[in-house]
Amino acid sequence: MPSPLPADAPTRAARVLALAFAGVMGLGAGGLILMASESTGIGRLDLLRALLMLVTTAWLAWGAAQALIGLVSRPPAPPPAVPDDARPDSRAPDGLTVVMVPICNEDPVATFSRVAAMAASLEEVGLRDSVHLAILSDSRDDAVAQRERFWFDRLLTETGAEGRLFYRRRSSNEGRKAGNIEDFIRRHGAAYEFAVILDADSLMEGATIAEMIRRMRAEPRLGLLQTLPRIVEAESLFGRAQAFSAAFYAPVFARGLARMQGSTGPFWGHNAIVRTRAFAESCGLPELTGPAPFGGPVLSHDYVEAALLARAGWIVRLDDDLEGSYEEGPENIVAHARRDRRWCQGNLQHARILPAPGLRMWNRFVFVQGILAYVSSLIWGAFLLVSALSVLNVGRPNYFPLPHQLFPVFPDDQTKKIVGLAIGVVGLLVLPKLLIWVKAALDGRARGFGGAARAFGSFFAELALSSLSAPVMLMYQGRAVLQVLFGRDGGWPTNQRGEGRLTLAEAWAASGWIALTGAACLGGLFAMLPELWLWMAPIFVPMMAAPVLIAASSRPLGRPFFTTPSEAATPPVLCRARAVHAAWRRSAPQGTQAAKTRAAALP
């Protein structure tokens, strides 16, 4: 087991700069709130409001710092190859690698067609015999499992990969996905030097897997290597905006994240490669005491496993320069919120793991970040409420003395401070994305997004959609946090892959409570503080329009906006997966019956 590595000088510098920037921005925002309250006397509500603004602004500034660091950073040069006979960790026979595809009640035609494409891609790069593929089923539905066995036989026949392609279904789904992977590692991990962990909707080029293996062998202390997956197969307005963000903004944010985290990097649970010995020795997950939602199995297991690897002295690294890594994303806001509910519970559950002995300080800080990512929605809501109470507490001055005035005038000419604060908060959200577009236009990266002009149109459209949907997402997140805090277990809901277009009635069923809440808040504000209703309208009007926004953004979108490089030049592995999927759909028998699974299936 390697000794823990201290953070190098560039990593420490990036952390200090990001923390300092977040602290200065937060203190500045809180100070402006206090300065604006001086004329009427600073009371307890003003102090609380300043504290809430400090926390929320510092959180926004932290994200902006991540992007700014990513803009000025370059990915480290890939390590040189190491000869096989010089590798200190080649205990597995022939240095085999396994690609694990955990599934649970998925569409086997869609999932297995991706496996077929990856098998062919691996063969093209000469990894036919050194990389195995294992489909690890946790499906509880017997009818789904029957279809899985049928399509596994079809997959095995068409790929000719008997002895290299396996399927097994667990009798119990204890521990869910993490338990599924742990079960495979415990039973079969000794046969493999490395393991690539995917999701059911993941897709990777054979060349990418080959490069990941090469980098693992070049650094014997590397326990986990995370890639940055791109979103593919998006069709709706919401889905295509997410895909654009993942391709255009995420690489810059990820580079900043990689620079700050250094050797204690992230694990997102999929599209990553692990050293099986390191994973087996370090990543046994505890069953948390007490009932759910804070007890039971660890839901957001990936960040915990990354922390356990770092605690054991292994390097956990994000290489944002690795291409050829793909996944699918939700096609509407409701599907995103459903998945986000589980992540919320998992991140809040990390409060139980924070005091675990031996963890690296940065990993503890990452757990705090994850918790704050969800609690911040309640903090924003609390800030708005406290601000309204503070104004009521000091009476009702005339904020808009002139007709048709847009910005309020605060007592003793505090307008400049408040407007400056608002501009600063908006700038923390918008400026990093704008700078990413500027850099992409200058260095030519925008060509993959249809050129600088089209990329700017996509930037503006994404900004508009994210601004409108932000209050809606904050409401979903706020509700999720309150549900967890009040003891409601969200469980592990089945993924609704392919769930796309929603009717207005379906959108209302999922978000009517948000619309009514927005109407009630705006109505109450108009009754008590009519001078400020226009100022707060950008928050409450999108909430009132939530059903329309959700339904409209779930509809298919043409190609004028949100062009991505994977659309301009479709990756070969994606082309192959689509072709296999289409062929299987055409030839699928009616009422597919399960065929007897071959002996290649794992126990």
Give the integer Cα–Cα distance in Å for 596 and 603. Answer: 15
Residue of 549, 563, 538 lying closest to 333 (CA atoms) = 549
Domains with residue ranges and CATH for the chain: 92-329 (3.90.550.10)
Give the residue with greater pLDDT, 54 vs 387: 54
What pLDDT is stored for residue 593 in this prediction? 42
Q: pLDDT tens digits for 322-341?
A: 999 999 999 999 999 999 99
Q: Which two tokens stand for residue 576?
A: 């192959």
Q: Judge contact between 320 and 75, C-beta under 8 A.
A: yes
Report whether pLDDT(163) > 70. Answer: yes
Beta-strand ranges (E) seen in 272-324 are 272-275, 315-318
Confidence label for 83 from pLDDT (cuts 50, 70 and 90): low
With beta carbons less than 8 A apart as the criterion, state whether 279 and 312 touch: no
- Residue 88: is it exposed, middle or buried by C-beta count within 10 angstroms (0-12/13-18/19+)? exposed
Lowest mean pLDDT among 136-145, 156-165, 326-335, 552-561: 552-561
- The pTM score is 0.90
Give the pLDDT of residue 603.
Answer: 43
| Non-local CB neighbours of 458 within 8 Å, separated by 6+ positions | 244, 248, 449, 450, 561, 562, 563
Summarize pLDDT for 230-279 with one digit per residue, the tens: 999 999 999 999 999 999 999 999 999 999 999 999 999 999 999 999 99
Buried/exposed 493-525: b ≥16 CB within 10 Å, e otherwise: eebebeebebeeebbbebbeebbebbeebbeeb
368, pLDDT greater than 80 = yes
What mean pLDDT do residues 178-199 have?
Answer: 95
Question: What is the reported pLDDT for 423?
Answer: 81
d(CA 366, CA 258): 13
Estimate the crossing angle of helix 250-261 against helix 9-37, to 10 degrees: 110
Number of residues that make up the chain: 603
pLDDT higher than threshold 90 for residue 314 = yes
Write down the pLDDT at residue 44.
Answer: 86
Instruction: State the number of CA atoms in the 13 A half-sphere of 433 facing the CB.
Output: 22
Residue 173 · residue 201 · CB < 8 Å: no
Which residues make Cβ contacts (< 8 Å) with residue 295, sequence separation at least 6?
A: 288, 289, 352
Band of residue 493 on the pLDDT scale cut at 50, 70, 90? low
- pLDDT tens per residue, range 41-67: 678 888 999 999 999 999 999 999 999
**β-pair type (203-204, 194-197):** unpaired
d(CA 431, CA 538): 19
Which residues, in sequence order, are CB contacts of 433 under 8 Å at separation 6+?
67, 249, 459, 462, 463
- The alpha carbon of residue 32 and the mean position of all alpha carbons in its chain are separated, in whole angstroms, by 33
Lowest mean pLDDT among 148-152, 291-295, 385-389, 543-547: 385-389
